[in-house]
Structure 1
Amino acid sequence: MTRLTPNGSEALQMLEFLELYGILGVHHFTLYNHTLGPEVGCILQDYVSRGVVTLLPWKLNMASQKEIRTEGLFAALNDCLYRSMYRYSHAALVDLDEYIVPRHNDTLPELIKWLGTRLNTRTTGSYSFQNAFFYLQWSDDRRISSSPDPFQRGLVTLRKTRRRAKLHPHKQRSKYLCRPEHVVEAGNHFVWEFVPGHGTLNVPPDAAILHHYRVCEFGGDDCVKTASAVDRTAHRYRVRLVERVRWRWAELREKCGLWEYPVVAPRVTTSSPAGPNSTVAQRSRQS
């Protein structure tokens, strides 16, 4: 589930979101359209026609952040929750710039199954994942920025590999996978109310974390001064993701008025830090 307010390279961003989550094992998307450009609208209609996306209008006659918070975020979250109930085993409530990425398992269903073999998940109503900011102001990964492939250079989950070393605690910026039938009320960062007898499992960060790709959350560029680590876990999906996005782009290019190749808007980046606050967190295989 996500509210649609894309910007920048919207078409590529949308294809990356849909195709990477598809690789991660997601079968259906419920999207809430607040503002949407013609190219992205065309792309989504193709996914709608294939039964992969449900696209719902989300234009409220209220002033966001004055009369209601963030375009009616909590109404959208709970609409999605109850639409998913008894139709899907699990639902992830995330935004377009957020990806739940397993550290060892290949897909989210495999992760849930793996956790069930190691922890008691019988009463689990939601799986919480700690947030890691991959600030867009940090420089692109040199392995990707030097690639001649415009698709590889354009995908944010590949080119942005530096993240904050310290993860946010659960319930602060975290996101979750839930079992809809065990939830009464969904919140943004955690479930607000469960069916009695159910609760949250805080997933250990060595099993999976939330990759959150965005600019500094408080404005300016000071966030890049925080301790950081290079985390290439998402590169495990590099080959499959690039090929799937390339194939879908070529298939939709003429129909949706896309350029021959994706063009990513240039962004001023801050040099990656060096020294004691800069580490390499993990190097993953590519497949």
Structure 2
Amino acid sequence: MRKICFTGCLLVMITLTSVYYHRMVASKWNIEYKEIKRAEKNITPLGDNKTFIIHAYYDDRVGKNIRTIAIVHHSNTAGFYCLFYCNTSLDGNAVPAYVNLHSDRFGFPYVTADIVCAEPNACASSHVSFFKNDYPKDDNLPAFQIKNRDSQPITSDFTVCMSTMFGNYSNALQFIQSIEMYKIMGVQRVTIYKNSASALMEKALQYYAAEGIVDIVEWPIDAYLSVSTKWHYTMEPKDIGYYGQIAALNDCVYRNMYRSKFVALIDTDEVILPVKYKDWTAMMAALEADNPNAGVFLFENHIFPKTVLDSDFEAKDWESVPGINILQHLYWEPSRRFIFNNRKMIVKPRTVIQTSVHSVLMANARSVHVSPDKAFLYHCREPEQPWLKKSQLIRDTTLLNYCTDLVENVDQVIQMVTSRKKKSSGFSARPGIGTAGKYVRKARQLGKCTL
């Protein structure tokens, strides 16, 4: 409750401060522009080459503000102005900006920031520009479209924000399985911030984009900053961590704020698995009923090490597709005492002001931890406890509840992406385990997967 009250008070203070300073300096800057130079990229550097604008969003939750997601050098926060275009003559109306650095910087010199300006009275500018006291004041400032000004009806119950695909990402099989699992869960949209991907991954992305479920946001951050593949500066000293994933996640929340009821912030190798519910629709209905004042739902991370296989499962026709087959990984590492277990989130986007990767930083609703006996985060990746023997891991077959639909759907996508002729799934037992028929009978006895 204190955090919610603090957040509300802070936003009111920002609004009042911006209005006060606007009245003081409105007459100082009166720059006339012959035409607006519209910014069209997802990352746009400003004149100081230390500030990178992502997108600007109208935010009327407290006052009438323009909140712009940006990446800035942590020492470069003073003297920012927003320049609004309030009439047809394109006279620039300047307003001092409040630059709010996100607290999760992890030692990197560049950090996600909100550049917040109160919109001038009787001004409904479609675009906004930015400059500093020491910027050259000319007619070449890029102007950014102000998004979310006109609220639209919600078109999706669930959107997944899958941030920063980089490193020529090639884990195509697990990506396809994840997308198909999201669809089974009830997801209508997946937003992906793509830096680089393999040729086969590009085909998969274009397939899903044409299908209408994937929204690809090009993310060439390495053209402007040195980027780390690690989460902390001490692990790899670069300008910014994880290809700017925190900036991407915040942009994704605001991008989907008015078109999705819920937004899930998860990675390509993660799926939130309901235990007591059929899908996310039933799960979130129950969680909302139990937590009517919550806006952030945190799910415990279970790491299923990709080095440990369940030898019962093998898909012959999937072997030529690079990546992990999640149906072969049904053992997770037990949690360790005194070691923080990361969580991932499903949020109501209109309650979120700032988010990090594993928690929200500012929100106007409370966060709740979901018990793992209701749902958990399936995370298939490199082990965190590689010394554990298979007998020390915990076998969990929740994923197999969706096996039949998953196998059929993945088969169809692989056939389309690899241009193969349609044939049977080829899902079989590994040599030494028994015949495929024996496996099917075993699976049916378990009541988990019928092939």
User: Please, what TM-score do these two structures have when normalized by structure 2?
Assistant: 0.52
Counterpart in 1 of 2:448? 285
Aligned partner of residue 192 in structure 1, secondary structure: strand
Counterpart in 2 of 1:238? 403
Q: Among all aligned residue pairs of Structure 1 and Structure 2, give the percentage whose two residues are the same amino acid.
A: 27
Q: 1:35 to 1:124 in 2, by over 3 A?
A: same
Quote the offset at 1:168 in angstroms: 8.5
Q: 1:57 to 1:9 in 2, by over 3 A?
A: closer
CA distance in 1, matches of 2:447, 2:339: 25
Aligned partner of residue 86 in structure 1, secondary structure: coil
Q: For 1:20, which of 174, 181, 187 is the aligned residue?
A: 181
Q: For 1:45, which of 203, 206, 220 is the aligned residue?
A: 206
Q: For 1:209, which of 361, 364, 376 is the aligned residue?
A: 376
Residue 80 of structure 1 pairs with residue 252 of structure 2: yes
Quote the offset at 1:12 in angstroms: 1.7
Quote the offset at 1:216 in angstroms: 2.5
Q: Where does 1:146-161 land on structure 2 (aligned, <5 Å)?
A: 150=318, 156-161=325-330
Q: For 2:216, which of 44, 55, 60 is the aligned residue?
A: 55
8 Å contact kept, 2:304–2:383: no
Counterpart in 2 of 1:191? 360
CA distance in 1, matches of 2:204, 2:283: 29
CA distance in 2, matches of 1:68, 1:284: 47
Q: Mind listing any 5+ residue stretches in structure 2 that lack a counterpart?
A: 1-160, 229-237, 426-445
Q: Which structure would you say has the larger RCO, counting Cα contacts within 8 Å and 6 or more residues apart?
A: 1
Counterpart in 2 of 1:114? 286
Counterpart in 1 of 2:96? none
Amino acid in structure 2 at the alignment position of 1:199: R
Counterpart in 2 of 1:278? none
Query: Which whole-Å deviations, capped at 9, do the CAs of 1:43-73 have from their partners, x for residues lacking one?
Result: 2112212221110111212112311111001
8 Å contact kept, 1:156–1:213: no
CA distance in 1, matches of 2:336, 2:266: 17
Higher helix content, 1 or 2? 1
Amino acid in structure 1 at the alignment position of 2:262: H
Counterpart in 2 of 1:64? 227
8 Å contact kept, 1:129–1:174: yes
Q: 1:31 to 1:150 in 2, by over 3 A?
A: closer
Between structure 1 and structure 2, the one with the greater Rg is: 2
Query: Which whole-Å deviations, capped at 9, do the CAs of 1:101-150 have from their partners, x for residues lacking one?
Result: 00021111110112234x1x221111100111111122x112214x6664
Quote the offset at 1:170 in angstroms: 11
Counterpart in 2 of 1:127? 297
Aligned partner of residue 203 in structure 2, secondary structure: helix
Quote the offset at 1:204 in angstroms: 0.8
CA distance in 1, matches of 2:168, 2:338: 28
User: Please, what TM-score do these two structures have when normalized by structure 1?
Assistant: 0.80
Counterpart in 2 of 1:98? 270
Q: 1:127 to 1:92 in 2, by over 3 A?
A: same
Q: For 2:343, which of 164, 169, 174 is the aligned residue?
A: 174
What RMSD in Å do the two structures reach over aligned CA positions?
A: 3.0
CA distance in 2, matches of 1:141, 1:225: 10
8 Å contact kept, 2:169–2:198: no
CA distance in 2, matches of 1:55, 1:241: 23
8 Å contact kept, 1:131–1:167: no
Quote the offset at 1:226 in angstroms: 9.3
Counterpart in 1 of 2:171? 10
